[in-house]
Amino acid sequence: MKLGRSTVALLITGLAVAACQQASPSATGSPSPTGGIVTGPPSSQPSMSSPTAAPSAASPVAGEVTLTGTVVFSGVEGGCWGLKVGTKTYELLGGDRAILSDGADVVVRGVVRSDLATICQIGTPLEVLSARAA
Using one digit for the tens of pLDDT, what is the confidence trace for 16-57? 555 544 444 443 343 434 444 343 344 444 433 333 344 444
| Predicted local distance difference test score (pLDDT) of residue 70 | 98
Residue 51 in contact with residue 93, Cβ under 8 Å? no
CATH number of the domain that 85 lies in?
A: 2.40.50
Q: Which residues are CB-neighbours of 110 under 8 A, at least 6 positions away?
A: 64, 65, 67, 93, 126, 127, 128, 129, 130
Q: Which percentage of the chain shows pLDDT scores above 90?
A: 42
Number of domains the chain contains:
1
The whole domain housing 57 covers 5-133
Q: Which residue has the higher pLDDT, 69 or 75?
A: 69
